[in-house]
Amino acid sequence: MKKKWIRCLSFQLVLLLMLTSLSLFAFAEVDESQVYLSGEAFAAAPEQTGMPVKVKAKSALLMDASTGKVLMAMNEHQKVFPASVTKIMPLLLITEAIDNGKIALTDMVTTSSTASSKGGSQIWLKEGEAMSVDDLLKATAIYSANDACTALGEYIAGSSEGFVKMMNDRAARLGMKDTVFINCTGLDDDTDDHLTSAYDIALMSRELLKHERIINYTTVWMDTLRGGQTELVNTNKLVRFYEGTTGLKTGTTNKAGCCVSATAKREGTHLIAVVMGSENSTDRFEGAKAMLNWGFANFATVTPQINKSLVTDVAVINGIKETITPVIPEAAPVLVTKGSQDNIKQDIQMAVNVEAPVEKGQVLGTVTISLDGNVIDELKLTSPEAVRRLTFFDVFKRLLLSLAS
């Protein structure tokens, strides 16, 4: 009886070890198919401090996309594995290349052996297969396809290594001090050095949102490639279930946990919610929604309207023209606490006159915009043209014209 009990216990232990091994192999970069993460590779989220809402994650941040103002943050500079959230940078570089005319959406890209051999999320590109930039961009933005992302990177940089260098150079220019990219996909099975932070992800997310064309991809719930043979379903579930969602990118690996850079826009306010290292997919999306809901409930984006009646013409002393009408620039959008819009004030200071010559763009006055006594913007009122100084012949000509009249 005792031997039978020991054999039964041994069988259960072997079965448990087999199941544990299988679970570890399950968490390659597949983004949304995974729900719960466990094991030594993924540590539990730290105790949350200083956040007005509860977010179950290692780090998190809410940023206003228009101004870059951080509205709440937790461990925002902690270096973490980003998984496929990495692809925000490739999407930025590809979009910039399109907008700069370096490449076109209709360009055909031939798949290399390197691109076709990528694991994880993919559209199963074959070596030598040609696909348009537009379709590869769809596959990357919607389905997080590693092979498509690699093919695009090789197309604009010449090689995978060259593209990773472009990514790191662009990160440096954006001030992403916590970031080192090792690849363009976020796959981290073979590296412990592919790291970034919630703050840096918000920085590159904000930069990507400046290119409005990307929203045509990141807001698509379902699409197809290859004439309907390949189906794409967005890895970002907020696209379907959260009002105003504009993107942006998800990521999941065993090292990274469940991550997302979630962006949404309501009534002119565009927010970026970054959640890194949640233990499951539900926690990441619930955390992002909680931050976004709090942001939309407490803040509004307004654009101050300059009181043009207070901007007067400026007299030009000894100039070929007697007066100049200053150019009035548009004020930038301002993020304010809801209900405080009426506290925005503007102070306009104008020069009474200026001595010729006057240069085009010369400052003739300023508009100082403040909120609750704090300066939030300063605009320069400038000359729309150059005005040269009067010469003897100009004066003589005016005299003759006055006598003739």
Catalytic residues: 84, 87, 144
- What are the DSSP calls for 237-250, one per residue? THHHHSTTEEEEEE
- Give whole-number Cα distances, 294 to 191, 241, 271, 272, 336, in Å: 36, 17, 11, 12, 14
DSSP 182-196: S-SS---TT-S--BB
Cβ proximity of 181 and 161 under 8 Å: no
Q: Which residue do the tokens 């959640």 mark?
A: 275
The partner residues of 323 in beta bridges, in order of sequence, read 315
376 CB contacts (<8 Å, ≥6 apart)? 334, 344, 369, 370
Measure Cα distances from 41 to 27, 192, 255, 257, 279 in Å: 11, 11, 5, 9, 11
Pairing of strands 353-355, 314-317: parallel
b/e burial code for range 38-53 (CB count within 10 A of at least 16 → b): eeeebeebeeeeebeb
What are the tokens at 15? 């079965």
